[in-house]
Amino acid sequence: MRARKSYSPFYFIGQAFNGLFRNFSVTLGAIVVLVCCLVLIGSFYSLIANITENLDDLSLMNKIVIFLEYDATNEDCDRIEKEIKGLRELGNLKVTFVSKEQGLEDMKAEDPDNAYLYESIPDEDNPLADSFIIEYDDASKVQRIEYNLRQIDGVRKVNSHSEIAVKVNSFKNGITLVFFFFFVVLFAVGVFVIINTVNMTVFSRRDEIYVMRFVGASRWFISLPFVLEGIILGAFSGGLSYFIMKWLSGYVVNTVVAGLDMVKMLPFSEYSDIILYGFLGIGILSGIIGSTVSIRRPLDA
């Protein structure tokens, strides 16, 4: 029985590189288009990450302050705190108790020029009430949280910015939806570019492919170099896009946002891993899809 011949992986890798360099101008054009698509995807992701970070930093957006009855006792405060912490179905709630004495001290610290006015107030005449600060992490549930807090016996007043928080959450969801739309479009463009690039190689080697099919070469033997060609093209574009994105992010932080104290810009290191693995994953996946589609027709013909 005739032994089955094995081929080194370097043979297929070499064939893939030969295909890329054989149509170098087309390969270069594909790399440029892929890099542009990936950098746009990365820029959209960076924009969303920074907008989300700045919105989350608005301290009043994720806080609700409740004020208790003026005659609330220590037992009332303990009971109300337990009831608030019992609202676990509404997300992770961080509860901080602020006594009326502490509230008066905070007012002194915030208005040092008039601190003497607060010092003249006797403890028994303190006009403030005990309060709780509730921090939440899910803005979509803020109205339900506010409603449940109002139902607790002993709560006199609830201060929140629920309408603003809901609008901010809707805004973030809208931006995310736009991002995914552009992601799908740009990913499709990347796949289309790789299909055209590999198609050029397939066309230039069509006679060789027909001969290999005629002599009985397996489908994987014929298609593997083209699949590797797409993977190499996608991976190289992904790596190049990462370094361009890193430089672009540093340029924006150091020049554009440097003088804007009110705008917080995340350092690239905060999401560099997501960008790197995302770019490589998108590039390689688009390469596999594009090359597989390209080689299917001549193999089935």
Nearest to 130 by CA among 60, 83, 71, 85: 71
pLDDT, residue 4, reads: 53
Residues 128-148 have a mean pLDDT of 82
Sign of CA dihedral 242, 248, 253, 254: positive
* 98 lies in some domain: yes
Q: Which residue has the higher pLDDT, 51 or 119?
A: 51
In this predicted structure, the answer to whether residue 276 has a pLDDT above a threshold of 80 is yes
Shared domain check, 53 and 74? no
Residues 179-205 have a mean pLDDT of 79
Shared domain check, 172 and 101? no
Query: Any idea which residue has 């230039």 for tokens?
Result: 204
Report how far residue 102's alpha carbon sits from residue 108's, in angstroms, rounded to the nearest whole number.
10
* 251 lies in some domain: yes
Exposure letters 57-67 (e unless 16+ CB within 10 A, then b): eeeebbbbbbb
Shared domain check, 237 and 112? no
pLDDT, residue 1, reads: 41
Residues 146-159 have a mean pLDDT of 88
Report how far residue 223's alpha carbon sits from residue 249's, in angstroms, rounded to the nearest whole number.
39
Shared domain check, 48 and 180? yes
* 198 lies in some domain: yes
* 101 lies in some domain: yes
153, 186, 213 — which closes off a domain? 153
121, 153, 185 — which closes off a domain? 153
Q: What is the mean pLDDT of the chain?
A: 79
* 159 lies in some domain: no
Q: For residue 107, what are the contacts with CB-CB under 8 A and spacing of at least 6? A: 118, 128
- Provide the residue range defining the domain that includes 45: 9-57+167-300
* 65 lies in some domain: no
In this predicted structure, the answer to whether residue 30 has a pLDDT above a threshold of 60 is yes
In this predicted structure, the answer to whether residue 46 has a pLDDT above a threshold of 50 is yes
The angle subtended at Cα 212 by Cα 283 and Cα 301, nearest 5°, is 75
Q: Which residue has the higher pLDDT, 186 or 167?
A: 186
- Tokens encoding 124: 């028994």
pLDDT, residue 114, reads: 67
102, 118, 153 — which closes off a domain? 153
Q: How confident is the model at residue 277 (pLDDT cuts 50, 70, 90)?
A: very high
Shared domain check, 268 and 232? yes
**% pLDDT > 70, the chain:** 82
Shared domain check, 183 and 267? yes
How many CA atoms, within 13 angstroms, populate the side-chain half-sphere of residue 266?
A: 20
pLDDT, residue 162, reads: 67
Give the number of domains in the chain: 2
Shared domain check, 279 and 180? yes
pLDDT tens sequence across 86-125: 887 777 788 888 888 887 777 777 767 766 666 666 666 6
Shared domain check, 89 and 30? no
Shared domain check, 53 and 146? no
Nearest to 38 by CA among 299, 252, 248: 248
* 183 lies in some domain: yes
Shared domain check, 75 and 53? no
Q: Which residue has the higher pLDDT, 1 or 171?
A: 171
* 2 lies in some domain: no
- Tokens encoding 117: 């006015």
In this predicted structure, the answer to whether residue 229 has a pLDDT above a threshold of 70 is yes
Shared domain check, 148 and 215? no
pLDDT tens sequence across 233-271: 889 999 999 999 999 888 777 776 655 555 677 788 888
